[in-house]
Structure 1
Amino acid sequence: MSSPLAIGAVSAVLRNLLDDGLIEAGNSIGVTVDVSAIAPDTIDLDDAEAPPRLNLFLYQVTPNQGWRNAALPSRSSVTGERLTNAPLALDLHYVLTAYGRTDFQAEILLGYAMHLLHERPVLDREAIRRALDPSPLDVTMLPPAVQALAASDLADQVEQIKITPAVMSSDEMSKLWSAIQSHYRPSATYQASVILIEGTRSGVSPLPVLSRGPRDPVTHREHGVFVNPDLLPAVPTLFEAEPQFSQTGARLGEPVTVTGARLAGSGHSVLLRHRLNEEPFELPPDSVSANGQSMIFTLPDNPAARQALAAGQLSVGLRLLVNGEPGPRETNSIPLILAPAADFAGADLQRTANVVTVELEASPQVRTQQKAVLIIGTTEAVAAPRSNASDPLVFSFDPALPDGEQPARLRVDGADSILIDRTGDRPIFASDQVLEVP
């Protein structure tokens, strides 16, 4: 496969091919012909001393339809690690333009160039190597960009590069030259296909399968594929995490019921992940149903958990050892809202002129990277910046709030503290979610 230098290498090889072949064209018109590979708008058309020119311009790069789905997927859907170096397959689209100062010069140049590309529809590997590494010429004498193209590995890619004429209507040609912002000259379009650019990072290649399932220790026969007579997933899978009383979130110290399939086994460990934690927080479940369709775990409420966990959206996973398997297996992840719990009873409220300041603690600790909002009644305020997660949250309400007792809730990263009490026959505002505004 080629390196990312391959696009420039193709242009360099084509320019070299045209430069060598147009010696005969120069003899026909009696002057030396310049061959370039630059944007048409950079060519000086007002220079009366400029020789005739043939210019190759790469105006478009498109994905190759035949190769674009090769070697996919290139990363594991579970771990995200690289499995293969999927090639970037590209087609290059060129416009070949002839410039002349006298009658018929441009037409002669374009005719020779088109005939040359017609006779050489494939860039063979030897021609590519000669163009990019013109031995015995010292490569260090060439410009740095040309020197770099020698490392493109273009000649070693599995597909040879084919040059085919492309059809472009007068409307498309007009749009192209309008976009280039240059005057039209006799031109022909070509497509170079296919360029395969591949990375060199190491991937993961699985080992061959030795047996389909465990072998019987006596007969040494394969167990075969496990078949379950139902429509449930074949591997341990989590479906939903539900806080108690159908609340919008779970607080520290509260149980969570998880439904799923194939959860029976041993060595269960609940994995709680948060965007601000590099490693998951692990805890054992309280119970797992005998049929493997549900489990219950309680969020710990201790100093370690208040520092390690963070309010907001968690992802819940489960690690377990399935009966009959040699090693533990990890399930999929499902969302769970960890609701913050504000210490409204111990909050410090101060009124200064028209400003009410509220200082309170929250559980779990609100990280400095998290956004905290306090809502009293229908008015909200954002917490002031803090240097440490252990510092109390400070909110300033301006204009001032009306005095008296009002319902309050703390919102951390979009997760609200539990304002509504659903333990009774009808929902009511929780009695402990209030603040007495002075």
Structure 2
Amino acid sequence: MSNSLAIAAVTTTLRNLISQAVAQELGDGIVTTQPPDKARYHHDKNQINLFLYHILPNASWRTMDLPNRVKPGEIGQPPLALNLYYIITFYGKDNDDILAHRLLGKAMHILNDYAVLNPADIKISLSESDLHNQVERVRITLQSMSLEDVSKLWRTFQTQYRISAAYEVSVVIIESSRFVKTQKPILTRGGDSEIDIESGKDVET
């Protein structure tokens, strides 16, 4: 299962996929991972900026143990299951908005084509994360955001609005490093008490 490098593995994989899109569309350009207020510092280059702006727990995995990791009678620490939220911003060379729109179209195209991340791409990006071995596939979903939501988001960034697209990436499962605990077996002998097999002492019920 994946470890604490899983978030970095997702970001790196997305950056690599988008870099390929830039090269295919315009032949040159860069992909950065900066906060939007600090992203644009290469005005002489085509640029796409990928920024992880929000993280939420994945509700469906919150109380689940990993398959085949917890045996009957054992108590496992649930994994840390996360949904990651990215915003992607586009800048054309010399602030040419037509170039920015070409980058927008190409990046959205490739993220749609790779809506389920290929484990091989993840492994190439950051093999140490073990995210490529995750039982649940990592999926990319374009987010539907109202104009009000977009305005609030950019006000949070404290910078001028740029054409952008928002995506959810889920689920990223980080396995717990805590040991699995085994419940103490209890033998019932009747009445109002039980016997703890390990200690041989009565346990009030």
| TM-score (normalizing by structure 2) | 0.84
Say yes or no: does 1:84 pair with 2:48: no
Say yes or no: does 1:99 pair with 2:91: yes
Residue of 44, 47, 67 corresponding to 2:61 = 67
Residue 326 (structure 1) shift: 7.9
How many percent identity over aligned positions?
Answer: 37
Q: CA–CA distance in 2 between the matches of 1:192 and 1:155?
A: 14
Q: What is the aligned partner in structure 1 of residue 200 from structure 2?
A: 327
5+ residue gaps, structure 2, are 66-73
Say yes or no: does 1:33 pair with 2:29: yes
Counterpart contact for 2:49–2:89, Cα < 8 Å: yes
Match of 1:98, SS state, is: strand
Amino acid at match of 2:158: Q
Say yes or no: does 1:115 pair with 2:109: yes
Q: What is the aligned partner in structure 2 of residue 192 from structure 1?
A: 169
More helix by share: 2
Q: What is the aligned partner in structure 1 of residue 142 from structure 2?
A: 165
Counterpart contact for 2:91–2:97, Cα < 8 Å: no
* Cα RMSD (Å): 2.8
Summarize deviations over 1:135-192 as a string: whole Å, max 9, x none.
xxxxxxxxxxxxxxx4211111211100011111111111111111111111111110
Q: What is the aligned partner in structure 1 of residue 39 from structure 2?
A: 43
Summarize deviations over 1:245-294 as a string: whole Å, max 9, x none.
xxxxxxxxxxxxxxxxxxxxxxxxxxxxxxxxxxxxxxxxxxxxxxxxxx
Match of 2:136, SS state, is: coil
C-alpha change, 1:182 and 1:200, in structure 2 (3 Å) is same
Residue 331 (structure 1) shift: 5.0
Match of 1:10, SS state, is: helix
Q: CA–CA distance in 2 between the matches of 1:38 and 1:178?
A: 16
Aligned runs of 1:13-412 on 2, under 5 Å? 13-27=13-27, 32-44=28-40, 48-49=43-44, 51-71=45-65, 83-100=75-92, 101-132=95-126, 150-206=127-183, 226=190, 234-235=192-193, 327-331=200-204
Amino acid at match of 1:205: T
Q: CA–CA distance in 2 between the matches of 1:18 and 1:129?
A: 16
Q: Which has the higher contact order (CA 8 A, sep 6+)?
A: 2
Residue 206 (structure 1) shift: 4.8
Amino acid at match of 1:126: A
Match of 1:123, SS state, is: coil
Counterpart contact for 2:32–2:39, Cα < 8 Å: no
Q: CA–CA distance in 2 between the matches of 1:326 and 1:88?
A: 34
Match of 1:122, SS state, is: coil
Say yes or no: does 1:10 pair with 2:6: no
C-alpha change, 1:63 and 1:57, in structure 2 (3 Å) is same
Residue 201 (structure 1) shift: 2.8
Amino acid at match of 2:37: D
Residue 330 (structure 1) shift: 4.7
Comparing 36-45 and 95-104, the one that deviates more: 36-45
Counterpart contact for 2:76–2:181, Cα < 8 Å: yes
Q: CA–CA distance in 2 between the matches of 1:185 and 1:153?
A: 35
Residue 91 (structure 1) shift: 0.2
| TM-score (normalizing by structure 1) | 0.41
More strand by share: 1
Amino acid at match of 1:111: G
Residue 103 (structure 1) shift: 3.9
Q: CA–CA distance in 2 between the matches of 1:213 and 1:331?
A: 11
Amino acid at match of 2:53: Y
Amino acid at match of 1:7: I
Match of 2:150, SS state, is: helix
5+ residue gaps, structure 1, are 72-81, 133-149, 215-225, 229-233, 237-320, 333-438
Amino acid at match of 2:40: D
Q: CA–CA distance in 2 between the matches of 1:178 and 1:103?
A: 21
Amino acid at match of 1:99: Y
Q: CA–CA distance in 2 between the matches of 1:13 and 1:163?
A: 12
